[in-house]
Structure 1
Amino acid sequence: MSEYILETKNLVKEFRGFVAVSDINLQVKRGHIHALIGPNGAGKTTCFNLLTKFLTPTSGKIIFSDVEITHEHPAQIARRGIIRSFQISAVFPQLTLLENVRIGLQRATGLSFHFWRSDRALDRLNDQAMALLEQVDLAKYAGEHTVNLPYGRKRALEIATTLAMEPELMLLDEPTQGMGHEDVDRVTQLIKKVSAGRTILMVEHNMNVVASIADKITVLARGAVLAEGSYQEVSHDAAVMQAYMGTTTGELEGAHA
């Protein structure tokens, strides 16, 4: 088994002549937190859409756990264990936190489309759901309706529902976007906590978050890889500084793309 859980080889995506992603060679190590960063329009979300097959590559290959998945459908990708969260929190506001997590747990039971059944049939998932809520520090809110949660805790709930689907690879799309400092710190520590024994690929604008938890960083600019390495390495890279801040001196400490 390769040390890399995910690889892309010469990945390209064109839209009517516009090259959004150009010749991307990405290698994500098992058990690592790998951050994908870059200025607005760099191609980060397009990359995520290609990896989860919301978009089809123009050319190139995507390999997951030594199996090429380039031409698989989104549902097949999810079944392989590549689970994605989105920039906008995707939870059910009128359900409780416990009920939201149970929906994620349903996938493994084969009952996901048994709409005619009473929801009491899912009570057997309660212990698992509570364990996941405990993992993201939300157990005391289990019976609360999600609509009443502050934004940061909704994002934490989304991580719990993602974990419920037993991901081998979690794709987190800007998990701290729109948060105040306190929520950013809480969610950053949560990501670090749940990364134990898992692999995470994340798009993130907040450089303080990236600096504190990413094992490896890939910097994109204009759809291509500009630099790659640890935070220390990329933050002092002249080409990265030019792309982010229009300067070749200093570093990215605290910068937001």
Structure 2
Amino acid sequence: MSAEYILETHELTKEFKGFVAVNKVNLRVRRGHIHALIGPNGAGKTTCFNLLTKFIRPTSGRIVFNGHDITGESPAHIARRGVIRSFQISAVFPHLTVLENVRVALQRKLGNSFHFWRAESSLHTLNERARELLRAVDLGEYAGHLAVELSYGRKRALEIATTLAMEPELMLLDEPTQGMGLEDVDRVRQLIKQVSAERTILMVEHNMSVVSSIADTITVLQRGATLAEGPYAEVSRNPAVVEAYMGSADAELVGAH
């Protein structure tokens, strides 16, 4: 595997009782880039994510991260290697403060998540790093607020902060702007661009204005197979891609930028 690529899949395939959800996908994610997986509903994008993070096991094929074959590894092992996923639905603790949410993630990284008997004051050493991460996602002024009080877009920003607390080398973002209004979409778009400066990002995203403005490379899936790959300007003109999107609920591809 070339050092240029942080993640590669080789003929990655997943079948469910005869239905092929992911069909011999060869994905190559360039180190330091933002790589987007797009495709109509049912194209296999989320299944592909689930395979990469080992929430489901492939029927065949290989997954290679930083030169290591991780196909047989558990989700916990893969997370320890630095592959961290944020989920489609915001996953924060609503009745903890914003600061406490990030602190929980920092505890997980330290491996003392279950030290419930320790005094809360013993966690104060994590506060400085937690505040640093909150400032990185423009949530510094919300540190003392309960997570439940945040707008949807700021909850997603908090989720990205907790993901960053795990020190990912590769961040997998699953529909980061789903269900957002324009203002929140723009906030999260800028945030993804900002945090990509020091890491690689692989994202599933429906919003083509987001994809066209920040993704370096786009892989288009259709019926579980790769339909096209390349920069947005090239992929958006591909007749097969345009046809795949026409008439679907996701038909935002043409003219998105």
- CA distance in structure 1 between the partners assigned to 2:212 and 2:242 by the alignment: 15
Aligned to 2:198: 197
Q: Write the letter of the residue equivalent to 1:123.
A: H
Aligned to 1:253: 255
Aligned to 1:217: 218
Aligned to 1:81: 82
Question: TM-score under structure 2 normalisation?
Answer: 0.96
Q: Write the letter of the residue equivalent to 1:42.
A: A
User: Residues 197-241 of structure 1, C-alpha deviation per residue, up to 9 Å, x if partnerless?
Assistant: 200000000000000000000000000000000000100000000
Superposed displacement of residue 116, structure 1: 1.6
Q: Tell me the secondary structure at the aligned position of residue 196 of structure 1.
A: helix
Conserved? CA contact 2:25–2:225, under 8 Å: yes
Question: TM-score under structure 1 normalisation?
Answer: 0.96
Q: Write the letter of the residue equivalent to 1:38.
A: G
Q: Tell me the secondary structure at the aligned position of residue 171 of structure 1.
A: strand
Q: Tell me the secondary structure at the aligned position of residue 75 of structure 1.
A: helix
- CA distance in structure 1 between the partners assigned to 2:182 and 2:45 by the alignment: 24
- Structure 2 stretches lacking a partner, 5+ long: none
- CA distance in structure 1 between the partners assigned to 2:16 and 2:137 by the alignment: 39
Aligned to 1:71: 72
Q: Tell me, yes or no, if structure 1 residue 185 matches structure 2 residue 161.
A: no
User: Residues 54-95 of structure 1, C-alpha deviation per residue, up to 9 Å, x if partnerless?
Assistant: 000000000000000001011011010000001100000000
Aligned to 1:52: 53
Q: Write the letter of the residue equivalent to 1:187.
A: V
Aligned to 2:127: 126
C-alpha change, 1:180 and 1:224, in structure 2 (3 Å) is same
- CA distance in structure 1 between the partners assigned to 2:107 and 2:219 by the alignment: 34
- CA distance in structure 1 between the partners assigned to 2:23 and 2:128 by the alignment: 46
Superposed displacement of residue 246, structure 1: 4.7
Conserved? CA contact 1:236–1:251, under 8 Å: no
1:114-193 to structure 2, matched below 5 A, reads 114-193=115-194
- CA distance in structure 2 between the partners assigned to 1:67 and 1:124 by the alignment: 34
Q: Write the letter of the residue equivalent to 1:254.
A: A
- CA distance in structure 2 between the partners assigned to 1:8 and 1:204 by the alignment: 20
Superposed displacement of residue 23, structure 1: 0.3
Superposed displacement of residue 10, structure 1: 0.1
Conserved? CA contact 1:208–1:253, under 8 Å: no
- CA distance in structure 2 between the partners assigned to 1:120 and 1:237 by the alignment: 58
Q: Tell me the secondary structure at the aligned position of residue 93 of structure 1.
A: coil
- CA distance in structure 1 between the partners assigned to 2:4 and 2:92 by the alignment: 33
Deviation >6 Å, runs of 4+: none
Q: Tell me, yes or no, if structure 1 residue 23 matches structure 2 residue 13.
A: no
- CA distance in structure 2 between the partners assigned to 1:116 and 1:251 by the alignment: 53
Conserved? CA contact 2:109–2:165, under 8 Å: no
Aligned to 2:6: 5
Aligned to 2:233: 232
Q: Tell me the secondary structure at the aligned position of residue 158 of structure 2.
A: helix
- Structure 1 stretches lacking a partner, 5+ long: none
Conserved? CA contact 2:245–2:253, under 8 Å: no
Q: Write the letter of the residue equivalent to 2:241.
A: V
- CA distance in structure 2 between the partners assigned to 1:113 and 1:45 by the alignment: 30
